[in-house]
Structure 1
Amino acid sequence: MKRLPKLMFALGAVALAVTACSPATGSGDQAGGAASGGLREVNIGAVPVVDVAALYVGEKQGYFEEEGLKLNIEFGQGSAAMIPSLLNGQFDMLYGGSVNMVQAAGQGLPIQAVAVGGRSTGVEGEDHGGVLVLPESGIENAAGLEGKKVAVNALRGLHEVSLWASIRKAGGDPKKVTFLEMPLADMGAALESGRIDAASTSEPFLGVIEGDGAKNIASLYVDAAPNFVGATYFTSTKMTETDPEFVQAFVRALEKSFAYADANPEAVRAELGNFTKIDPALIDSMTLTSFKWGLTTEDIRVIADLAAAAESLENPDEATEAVTAFLNKQ
């Protein structure tokens, strides 16, 4: 595998640059504060992956302004760590892993899904999530991860739960894998140095690491389920109950954003360069998420069942019912 100094710089730049490049220039101390021009500021916590470009596309097209909204996006390592900030009012919305969402609901936290965040393409080897190893590792598929150290951005989160499905599909035992929590931006260097044997990651990090010579051995989202919903937008139950008009306005603008992103992939790629610092040549080759609109109770049930199968959720039925309350009223 080629050496990774360029990779380390690129991923470090992603981690450092994303927060400063949010569409909204201001940030209030309280969620839902007033923004310039009479627009309502929407504070969104997110993970810096390719799906989030739909927000930037939608704001550029004026869809959120049409609904009286202005976006302020702040990035973190994982959605589980940002849920407390959602519940205390720092954020109005979170974009994050669907697994973290159902787990939180399963623990009794008052959160509800409002919209899809991103889906698998459904195509093996051509998805926006993957598991990367060094070509000389001898690991050929997910079953080969037994006895190995695999980096995920959140323990028991989206990547680990999905990877349990991949490992089992390949005939392996996920209980024999050691999962290590690590920021997405650090995985390339850790893989190169030998601190980990595999990195479970998503675009834009997937394309960067793979472009420097790593080998993709599993499309974990494809293995999880057809049309797998890997990410969602969700908010607090308090928000859906006290201000449903705001939630509906956000969802309307987001739906238009997804439709435009789906029809104009070049617009999505153009926005990636505005909130990450990555070589444009790599952006052109990245696999985009599926921007197919819609989120159903069945989508959530699939996620909850996968989490339960990975021993990361005790009662998938209760979690599904809790997190779909807003969806079922629409």
Structure 2
Amino acid sequence: MTKIPVLKIAGLAALFLGTVSPAMAQTTQLNMVLNWKYQGPQGWFFLAEDRGYFAEEGIELLMDQGNGSGAAVPLVANGTYDVGFGDINALVELTATQEGNMPKAVFMLYNQPPFAIAVKSDSDIMSADDLNGRMLGGPASDGALKLFPAFCDLADLDCDSIEVTNMQPNLREQMLMNEQIEGAFGYVNTLRFGAMAMGVNVDEDLRFIRYGDFGMDLYSNAIIVSADLIENQPEVVEGLVRAINRGVKDALADPQAAVEAVADREPLIDFDLELARFNATVEDEMAHPEIAEIGLGAVDMDRLAESIDILVAANELPRTPEAEAIFDPSFLPPIEDRLTSVSID
């Protein structure tokens, strides 16, 4: 088994245990859609379930596999699911273009922008400037693909000259390596570990053009809940967030236990690969410096507002949602239960 990288919790070496409310007399069943198929970074949800954190809050959480971070958002908005683990940028676009009570994010997990375009190392695409006139591809619901018009705007690209093709998610890395496309949209770690699963030496054979290097300092995946749940059962939302916060902290303290919880649901996963994916996700997508000040699960509302402005301008959205219409911090546990800064050497 691969040696587990050491997690350093900077600024808070010991993870605090949050106050747990007594179990409710009546259990509330919630349906949740995940961002993707079972993978290591979802271990915090399953660990929370296995350790009884949802049950202690009077919640039975039924978790379904998903088809992309962007795809989770409309499924919550249309009432198919109560809860989703999805991309907050897709929520911004939905809120800006549709009327009615929209879902809100209530717990941020990926506070660093993971969006990227992967190209082969032997390609002549050396930088974003070289993307003009190329053939790129990604699943239709991919978060990086959905944000590509905004990236074109910031990177000063001629988006109309770039051909984009869609494919099933499991074909993305294969099509890139077979040169059926010249670049693949995705989250950095989705692309990295998808290629690794094919036997690709990622460090030698791929390079990544990262959106964050062009000023797209965007948040990404968060816990998103329906407007109905927020309005009619706010105490359930609070309990859900409290349980997830405990699960995330437990997972950060013991990544192997988190991935074991995933393996209990899907024994066919490559354990070592998913453990590496978990740690890479923490390092690349969850370790923004702001977490040392605002705590796990929270957002900087000014930063969120700036990211909304980027999306609205680049995608020519009809309205500019307020940050408060996108993220509701009122359900977060006290900051002393969330104040942690995570980094991996």
So what's the TM-score if we normalise by structure 2? Answer: 0.69
Distance 1:224 1:58 in 2: 35
CA deviation vs aligned residue, 1:145-164 (integer Å, no higher than 9, x gap): 22122223336x63135555
Distance 2:264 2:190 in 1: 13
1:113 aligns with 2:105: yes
In the other structure, the counterpart of 1:44 is: 32
Distance 1:50 1:312 in 2: 36
CA deviation vs aligned residue, 1:30-77 (integer Å, no higher than 9, x gap): xxxxxxx96432210122165433212222232222212222111232
What 5-or-longer segments of structure 2 have no aligned partner?
1-24, 288-295, 333-345
Distance 2:274 2:69 in 1: 24
How do 1:159-198 residues align onto structure 2 when only pairs under 5 Å count? 159-160=144-145, 162-163=147-148, 172-198=157-183
State the SS of the aligned residue for 1:101.
helix
Residues 169/103 of structure 1: CA separation in 2 closer, same or farther (3 Å cut): closer
In the other structure, the counterpart of 1:238 is: 228
1:212 aligns with 2:200: yes
Distance 2:137 2:43 in 1: 25
Distance 2:303 2:230 in 1: 20
In the other structure, the counterpart of 1:141 is: 127
How do 1:1-330 residues align onto structure 2 when only pairs under 5 Å count? 39-48=27-36, 51-106=41-96, 107-110=98-101, 111-120=103-112, 130-154=116-140, 158-160=143-145, 162-163=147-148, 172-202=157-187, 203-210=189-196, 212-213=200-201, 214-221=205-212, 223-226=214-217, 228-274=218-264, 277-286=268-277, 287-289=280-282, 290=286, 292-311=296-315, 313-316=317-320, 318=321, 320-324=323-327, 326-327=328-329
In the other structure, the counterpart of 2:292 is: none
Distance 1:259 1:78 in 2: 24
Residues 275/207 of structure 1: CA separation in 2 closer, same or farther (3 Å cut): farther
Letter in 2 for 1:194: E
Residues 285/234 of structure 1: CA separation in 2 closer, same or farther (3 Å cut): closer
Asked if the contact 2:73/2:224 (under 8 Å) is kept, the reply is: no
State the SS of the aligned residue for 1:137.
coil
State the SS of the aligned residue for 1:118.
coil
Asked if the contact 2:305/2:323 (under 8 Å) is kept, the reply is: yes
Letter in 1 for 2:170: A
Asked if the contact 1:161/1:306 (under 8 Å) is kept, the reply is: no
Distance 1:258 1:198 in 2: 33
Residue 88 of structure 1: how far off its partner (Å): 4.4
Asked if the contact 1:98/1:230 (under 8 Å) is kept, the reply is: yes
State the SS of the aligned residue for 1:132.
strand
Asked if the contact 1:191/1:197 (under 8 Å) is kept, the reply is: yes
Asked if the contact 1:43/1:72 (under 8 Å) is kept, the reply is: yes
What 5-or-longer segments of structure 1 have no aligned partner?
1-36, 123-127
Distance 1:60 1:248 in 2: 19
Residue 169 of structure 1: how far off its partner (Å): 6.5
Letter in 2 for 1:199: A
CA deviation vs aligned residue, 1:183-218 (integer Å, no higher than 9, x gap): 432202221333321112233442231551440222
State the SS of the aligned residue for 1:217.
strand
So what's the TM-score if we normalise by structure 1? Answer: 0.72
Residues 284/55 of structure 1: CA separation in 2 closer, same or farther (3 Å cut): closer
State the SS of the aligned residue for 2:315.
coil
Distance 2:120 2:305 in 1: 35
CA deviation vs aligned residue, 1:210-259 (integer Å, no higher than 9, x gap): 55144022233465555x42112112222211111111111111122222
Residues 88/216 of structure 1: CA separation in 2 closer, same or farther (3 Å cut): same
State the SS of the aligned residue for 1:114.
strand
Letter in 2 for 1:102: V
Asked if the contact 1:133/1:198 (under 8 Å) is kept, the reply is: yes
Distance 1:278 1:175 in 2: 39
State the SS of the aligned residue for 1:73.
strand
